[in-house]
Amino acid sequence: MSYLGWAAAQLTALGLLISVLGQNAGWTELRINHGIMIGVLIVAFYTVMGGMWSVALTDMIQTFVIIVGLIVVAFLMARAAGGVGVVVESAHQAGRFDLFPEGGGREVMVFLAGFLTAALGSIPQQDVFQRVTSAKDEKTAQRGTLLGGLFYCAFAFVPMFIAYAAIVIDPDHLVQFASEDTREVQRALPAAIIASTPFWAQALFLGALLSAILSTASGTLLAPASLLVENVVRPLAPRMTDRTMLICLRSVLLVFAALAAYQAFTSNQTMYEMVEHAYSITLVGAFAPLAVGLAWRGATTQGALLSIATGIVVWLTVHHFAEDFIVPAQLCGLSASLVAIVLGSLLPEWVGQTPDTTEMMDLARK
């Protein structure tokens, strides 16, 4: 379920980008929902037809476009704002470099919950394992993961710099960034780029943005489809042929794409809120079983199942009935999940540990 919100966020971004481009080209009737429909058709088509190979190949090309496009646009925006130093100094004076929040314990807890949701909630995501298991050997998987993480951390500052440079160039953009209309906020950065850069730079930026969205969207559609077919459908039909499995995988992918598009149509959340919600599910339901299962030989299937159920139930309960509690729902769910896997593993075993599970975990710990 975590992938539903994540995929919906990518389709919302894609629809927003297509509508911005269309309206600037004179197609004033092209709305974001039209863009979402066009976007889901594009992503679903090349993911269904190409599978993991299409994702890997397009990711490589799209990553190159993203890096070049954002660096060039950042340079142009910095020059228009008076230089990198001017942007950095303005951000510093506005308190944008204050790492920790001001206020009491509640503000600190919210900050910690947001950090852990992104930092730990992304680890159990299936798209990470897609790339790891697709590597030619263990060293390539390890080095690729570490190198990708370093690039990810370093490059995340570039779009933030571009956004603040836009505010320095024209402070009126701050009004759009602070709008109560979530879809208006999401239009702020593309609108600022279009207003502040030459046409060729706009094309470069929007190409980079489109590449980033397509790269993520294809993975978010392929990951849950492969998980469901491999872990649920295939055990129920062990004699399924490869061709039947491929047809089943493509069918599930199309159904999931339709569900994600429906959520993108109907949701009032921002893209950030959709992604945060998606990561919260894996944080409270999957991180503890994965981390503790790899680190502790005493962890059992029973403990993992109890951890998943407890973490999600506690998270949902706090989120819906005690939203103003000093400890955010994600931290409550994560804490409950960690306690549950330890208790569930130490209690008398009612849910048996299969030999296949034991062997798989022993291999993973090596």
Closest CA to 298 of 335, 342, 332: 342
Q: What is the CATH number of the domain that holds 53?
A: 1.20.1730.10
Burial of 70 (0-12, 13-18, 19+ CB in 10 A): buried
- Identify the burial level of 98 via C-beta atoms within 10 angstroms of its C-beta, where 0-12 means exposed, 13-18 middle and 19 or more buried: exposed
- Report the pLDDT value the prediction gives residue 272, as an integer from 0 to 100: 77
Q: How does DSSP assign 248-285, residue by residue? A: HHHHHHHHHHHHHHHHHHH--S-HHHHHHHHHHHHHHH
Q: Tell me, yes or no, whether 90 and 205 share the same domain.
A: yes
| Pair 350, 325 in one domain | yes
Are residues 93 and 218 both part of a single domain?
A: yes
Residue environment code for 263-274, b if the CB has 16+ CB neighbours within 10 A, otherwise e: bbbebebebeeb
Question: What are the tens digits of pLDDT across the range 142-155?
Answer: 888 888 888 878 88
Last-in-domain residue among 241, 270, 299 = 270
Q: At what angle do helices 32-81 and 126-134 cross, to 10 degrees?
A: 80
Q: At 41, give phi and psi (nearest 5°).
A: -65, -40
Instruction: Out of 244, 270, 296, pick the residue that ends a domain.
Output: 270
Same-domain pairing of 202 and 302: no
pLDDT of residue 48: 80
Same structural domain, 98 and 57: yes
30 lies in which domain range?
Answer: 2-270
pLDDT-flagged residues of the chain (< 70): 1, 25, 28, 51-59, 126-127, 129-131, 176, 179-185, 352-366
Q: Are 260 and 293 found together in one domain?
A: no
pLDDT for 99 equals 78
Question: How many domains are there within the chain?
Answer: 2
Q: Are residues 214 and 307 in the same domain?
A: no
